[in-house]
Structure 1
Amino acid sequence: MKLAYKERIAWRLTLVTSLIILAVFAGIYLVVQVTVVSSIDRELGLETDKHRSQIFLVDGEIRFLHKDEWQEMEHSQIQLNPIFIEIVDLEGNSMDRSPNLRANHLSFSPEKSAQKEAWTLKIGASEVRQMQIPLVNAGKHEGYLLLAKSFEDSRELLDKLRNVLLILYPGILLSLFLTMRYLAGKSIQPIRQIIDKTNQISQSNLNERVPLAEPNDEIGQLTRSINELLERVEASLIREKQFTSDASHELRTPLSVLRGTLEVLIRKPRTQEEYVEKIKSAFASIDRMSATIDQLLALAREEKGKFSVREELELITFLEEVTDQSAKEQGREVRFQCEASTPIFVRANEQSLQMILSNLIQNAVKYSQPDAEVLVKTGVAEGTPYIEVCDAGSGIAARHLDKIFDPFFREKEVVDRAVPGTGLGLAIVRKLAQESGIRVSVSSEQGKGSTFRLELPDS
């Protein structure tokens, strides 16, 4: 079963912390062990130095500087931290030993004598720490002095420390996991609130937003991102509803005209002239619907990313061809003007840019006087290539400049003058420009005309 997010956080943090604690406990145990062993080895070193000056081997015989030292209580009985002493010859044969060894012997390791190295061993049922030094008389190596000190108390101390750490470890891990789980639950509480709020938001209340609690942390950033997403979705749905409504209206009107025309035709016999007139009216309605459908298809193709591929394009030559073709299609003078002295290279989709310019030039021709000139200019301003489509038409009211790129928007004055159009041309221009990374702006003055400016990314 998949664990909850707070459980996974708690387990991960507990695992990492448990490894750190384990390393700390191991360090503590090793430090104490090294300290205890070093202390015993230091005491053994002092004992060996003391007895080295008191015991001699002369021609295989043991001589004592103070014989009474062997009669002291620490050598004659088992007591707290006793010292065990044994003297052996070069072959390791015991020559004498302290009474507290009884029937036991210390370990003989001549290779450890030179380094004055200590080691741990068992003597009967007891554990001791032993050191061995050579006995030299008049420069002659005669035998070895073996000294040992009880390691029982130190071993008991180390075992108790180890047991305490082993008992504490699972208890610490359990308390750590519960603490981490609680803190993880508290930490993700804002996320739970976000989840609860977003689950309440549907298409019917898409205007609601997730409350912003801590704007400067990651939760605040997540909240802002969700709210921005909701704003984009809401705006998209509003545009979709408006688009559907407008498209339905635009298609319903010519259909109604067409239906009315045909109904009039079948009511009674008509003259040939009347039939021709009504059929021409029907064709006009069909042409209007076809134009609307073509524009809607263009929008649909753009939204599928058909024009997203960009290639290097020489702008001056391209615009000369576009203006010549537009002048032939529109039957109007479309003049091209270049304000740059060198070729202009840009990265753009040729088909997309051609459709943008075609729509802008069509609009310029449509809203200008029949004898007015349409001007297409290009150049480079502050390192940015640009194209301008200028007309001397009726212009656009300032209050409508932010709406002219909305689908199906047409000024009332234009509709009243029965200027043909669907209101989709500039919507296509904006979408294609956004897809191509082109910045579109417009300046207009009523009665004097409009200028649409395209700023293109250079190569």
Structure 2
Amino acid sequence: MLRGGTVGRRFTILYAAGFLGSGIVLLALTYLMSGVRSTTPAEPSPGASDLTAAREQIRALQSQLADAHSRQEHRWVLASLIALVVMAGLSLVLGRVLAGRVLRPLRLITAATRRISAENLHERLAVTGPADEVKELADTVDGLLERLEASFVAQRRFVGNASHELRTPLATMRASLDVAVAKPDPAAQTLALAGRLRTELDRVDHLLDGFLLLARAEHGAFTDRTLVTLDGLAREALDARAPDITAKGLAVHTEVRPAVRTHGSTALLSRMVQNLVDNAIAHNEESGWIRVTTGGDGGTEARLVVETGGRVLDQGEVDRLGRPFERLGAARTGSEASSGLGLSIVAAIVAAHGGRLVLLARPEGGLRVTVTLPSAAPGRETVTT
């Protein structure tokens, strides 16, 4: 019993058990001490004629005294048990009150810590009072928050600096290639090399975009929250990739319900849907199929589901696809068509919007990706489709 439940419940039970144990020991000692009776006075030495009558009288008095003592013991034991039961109830109530007062600072610390997130790491518990164990715990948590804030600030600063420092050499290399190709009568080898370098530069640029977007989503660093419709984002993503879908001969089935809304960043949610569609196209078989569904429970959840056919996948490998650079099977070591950040970016965006991502290997083959986000009722805000 003591290993389960809350700390307050355990404190209450321990206090009540200690009180009852002390009461039982005290009553037992009192009962033992009350058993020490005074000795019966010596019988007098009457004459021979009165000896028999005196003995009968003494026996009668001793019997009455024993009966009275027995009744007194029974009443004392009964009263002690009633008092013990009453005090047991009072000890539970008093123990609960004392446990609540003792644990109240810890509850305040827990509530304050839960309110602190990546967006308000500057806040502190700032517990005042005597220098006891509770204040030491609060000061330790404040120190941890301070270190976390410094780490988050350093990461955000790195993301900002990297976006400038890395794009400058990429732009310089692209300009150098354009200059080399623009010369009169460039050699065939120069044109071939320029084409390969442009492809690699595009991959690096795409990878850099993925890094920056992943960092932004993981830090929750977006203030462009608005009312977004998932059905509109799904249609836009499918329309944008229509040439690739046609080139691969994929059949697209849509069950898109209108007015499936959520609050969030339009740019991030659009990238989330694009990555899901891109993943469904890139990791699909020729002449395969894609099914896109939007819906919800009509109240608190907005749902987007993207399904594909294909070979049977291992659920253990599928569970790792939300991590950066994780790929299925032989593609895990590298791929010309994938950076390995697509689904990890999706997972970060979903988490930043308070949703959940479920990756399921279909028993018939292929993958089912379900994104569940908090639903938003339509209001006066601008709806982005």
Q: TM-score, normalised by structure 1?
A: 0.39
Q: TM-score, normalised by structure 2?
A: 0.45
- Which structure is higher in strand share? 1
User: Which one scores higher on RCO, CA 8 angstroms, separation ≥ 6?
Assistant: 2
- Which structure is higher in helix share? 2
